[in-house]
Amino acid sequence: MEKIKGYDYGQRTLPPSPVSLADLSLLKQTLLWSDSDTHYLNMAGTVLQDQVDAVLDVWYGYVGANPHLLHYFSKNEQPNMEYLTLVRARFGQWIIDLCQKEYDQEWLDYQFEIAKRHHSVKKNLTDGVDAAPIIHYRYMTAFIYPITVTIKPFLSAKGHSVLDVEAMYNAWFKAVTLTVILWTYPYIQDGAF
């Protein structure tokens, strides 16, 4: 695998997530997560593996068509193309990780790292760019829907049954919701997460 700048998954230098594995288990329980979801999420990863660039084209087209979203990759409303490119590589890896990584302590720690990179705690530092200093909370949660609804055509592209596609789609939706919950940790007042 080609080295992706800023992809620090599994690095010992990452601080541990303040969200415990027990907390993660309760979040999954709340999302009605089952072993079947893990199975279908893995299946989704196999289905999406050679479609990652096409998925990112759709998502980047969406962001690019909405100036209020493109703002977060910009300075003085001028998009930073290098920044967009660097984030795209990590975003593509996130698709695969979301589907195929075990949701263990390493995974949890990296979600905390991603969380900080969206918040003013660490936004722009990984790539050394000068852009909007935070992605506002409202867009973190609102992005769950477009990242979910746009994946279904890609999950349908390999000839799986309607039931398998629906199961992959539901597992994807749960996984996206779970990660966004984790990514919002820095936005929540201490003791309120």
CATH number at residue 127: 1.10.490.10
Q: What is the pTM (predicted TM-score) of this model?
A: 0.96
Q: Is residue 1 part of a domain?
A: no
Average pLDDT score over the chain: 97
How far apart are alpha carbons 85 and 75 in whole angstroms? 16
- 2-6, 128-132, 159-163: segment of lowest average pLDDT: 2-6
Query: Is residue 169 a part of any domain in this protein?
Result: yes
Contact 53, 148 (CB under 8 A): no
Contact by Cβ (8 Å): 27, 178: yes
Within a domain: residue 13? no
CA 83 to chain centroid, in Å, comes to: 17
| H-type alpha helices, the chain | 21-30, 35-48, 52-64, 67-70, 81-100, 105-118, 137-142, 144-149, 152-155, 162-183
Tell me which residue has tokens 């999302």: 31
For the chain, the domain total comes to: 1
Does residue 192 belong to any structural domain of this protein? no
In a domain, 30, yes or no: yes
Taking residues 16-23, what's their average pLDDT? 98
Q: What is the mean pLDDT of residues 115-133?
A: 97
What share of the chain in percent tops pLDDT 90? 97
> How much is the pLDDT for 1?
54
pLDDT of 2 higher than 80:
no
178 is a domain residue: yes
pLDDT for the residue 66: 97
Inside any domain, residue 107? yes
Mean pLDDT value across residues 22-49: 98
pLDDT, average across residues 169-176: 98
Partners of 138 in the β-ladder: none
Mean pLDDT of 61-89: 96
In a domain, 19, yes or no: no
Q: Which of 155-159, 174-178, 179-183, 188-192 has the lowest mean pLDDT?
A: 188-192
The pLDDT, as a whole number, for residue 154 is 98
Cα–Cα distance list, 2 to 28, 41, 46, 93, 109 (Å): 32, 24, 19, 11, 22
Quote the domain boundaries for residue 144.
24-187
The confidence score (pLDDT) of residue 150 equals 98
pLDDT above 60 for 98: yes
